[in-house]
């Protein structure tokens, strides 16, 4: 799974093509369905449930962007689509039977915190959904798995795709817009769907406490501003920034930092976007104490630093940049969950503190 990058301010050009390709990996393009589904693979035959649903949790009905998700009883064969939902499901004791393959994962497609949770539960690792050309997911594979629930609240599925998924099993889409859900609401929504709302609330509280503890060790965070960026886009003269509504912004704010006021103001021009661009010529109007750069590798760092206007911008010139080039760390911070956040805090927070000292 590849993380999204901001597109050009006009939502065209190279960045736009990259975003389309990235989000396609996280979205299902489905094109038909057999009438009689084949039996599920033997490896997925045993429901991987390691906790019981809470009393009175079912039946459950949850409204979302495309309709209402309804279950009369606890699901046992769950497929997740999108980002971080598999983390939440596993943390709740419902190991999915199939999950997306993570762009930051190991050779089997699993990020370490998810693998640790599943293996620690004693349940088998799930099937990874097959990526087809163009970022499609194998529709027949999902059908063959015979899920009794498809959970996709942090994804980019379309209404047409939702209808096809709903034809396989009750499907939970996002509340209003794709990719706009903070990690707390994400956890609580999945908790309701899986019949474990109190457990989900506790996971949120425990994770918030861990974040607060790390933030308390660094009172300097309270006086610091930040931006979250993807650097200078290839073939453009824009610097990409994530909007305040994205979950990756929330986790930094939870540590005590404040998003740059200029980014907050600029984001109001693009209320339906999770990312936008600011021209290099205007970059000095954005003020921040620390720069967080979400990139694929050092080559993207070097490409950004090749631009003099970017190099001379306040946080970069002051050497207050944290470039997230490690894919696991990058994924843990970019798609925070009740599993990834505790996993990454010990590594990420010291890097952030060191940058502010420079």
* Residue 169 phi, psi (nearest 5): -160, 160
Average pLDDT over residues 262-286: 93
Query: Alpha-carbon distance 248 to 84, whole Å?
Result: 12
Query: Alpha-carbon distance 304 to 311, whole Å?
Result: 8
Beta-ladder partners of 99: 128
Question: pLDDT digit string (tens) for 49-59?
Answer: 788 999 999 99
Query: Alpha-carbon distance 115 to 117, whole Å?
Result: 5
Looking at residue 245, what is its pLDDT? 87
Residues sharing a CB contact under 8 Å with residue 260, sequence separation 6 or more, in sequence order: 225, 226, 227, 286, 287, 288
Looking at residue 133, what is its pLDDT? 60
Looking at residue 26, what is its pLDDT? 33
Q: 13-196 has which CATH code?
A: 3.40.50.1980
**Residue appearing with tokens 């308390």:** 216
Q: Kindly calculate the radius of gyration of the chain based on its CA atoms and give it in whole angstroms.
A: 20
Average pLDDT over residues 264-286: 93
% of the chain surpassing 70 pLDDT: 85
211-357: CATH superfamily:
Nitrogenase molybdenum iron protein domain (3.40.50.1980)
Domain boundaries, the chain: 13-196, 211-357
pTM value is 0.84
Are the folds of 13-196 and 211-357 the same? Answer: yes
DSSP notation for 82-109? SSSHHHHHHHTTB--SEEPPPTT--TTS
């Amino acid at each position: 799974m590849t993380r999204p990058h901001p597109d050009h301010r006009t939502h065209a050009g190279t960045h736009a093509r990259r975003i389309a390709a990235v989000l396609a990996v996280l979205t299902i393009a489905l094109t038909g369905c057999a009438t009689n589904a084949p039996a599920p693979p033997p490896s997925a035959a045993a429901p991987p449930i390691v906790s019981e649903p809470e009393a009175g949790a079912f039946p459950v009905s949850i409204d979302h962007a495309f309709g209402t998700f309804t279950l009369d009883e606890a699901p046992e064969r769950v497929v997740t689509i999108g980002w971080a939902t598999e983390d939440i499901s596993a943390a709740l004791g419902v190991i999915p039977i199939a999950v997306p393959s993570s762009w930051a994962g190991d050779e089997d497609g699993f990020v370490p915190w998810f693998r640790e949770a599943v293996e620690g539960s004693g349940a088998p690792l799930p099937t990874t959904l097959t990526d087809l050309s163009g970022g499609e997911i194998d529709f027949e594979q999902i059908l063959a798995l015979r899920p009794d629930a498809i959970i996709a609240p942090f994804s980019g599925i379309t209404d047409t795709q939702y209808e096809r998924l709903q034809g396989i099993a009750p499907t939970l889409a996002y509340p209003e817009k794709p990719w706009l859900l903070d990690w707390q609401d994400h956890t609580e929504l999945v908790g309701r769907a899986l019949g474990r709302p109190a457990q989900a609330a506790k996971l949120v509280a425990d994770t918030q406490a861990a974040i607060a503890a790390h933030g308390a060790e660094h009172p300097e965070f309270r006086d610091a501003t930040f931006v979250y960026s993807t650097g200078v886009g290839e073939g453009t003269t824009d610097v990409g920034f994530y909007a305040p509504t994205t979950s990756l912004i929330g986790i930094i704010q939870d540590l005590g930092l404040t998003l740059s006021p200029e980014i907050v103001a600029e984001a109001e021009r693009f209320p339906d976007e999770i990312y936008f661009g600011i021209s290099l010529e205007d970059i000095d109007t954005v003020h921040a104490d620390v720069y967080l750069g979400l990139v694929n590798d050092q080559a993207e760092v070097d490409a950004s630093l090749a631009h003099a206007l970017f190099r001379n911008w306040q946080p970069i010139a002051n050497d207050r940049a944290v470039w997230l080039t490690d894919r696991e760390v990058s994924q843990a911070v970019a798609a925070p969950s009740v599993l990834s956040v505790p996993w990454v805090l010990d590594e990420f927070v010291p890097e952030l503190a060191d940058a502010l000292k420079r």
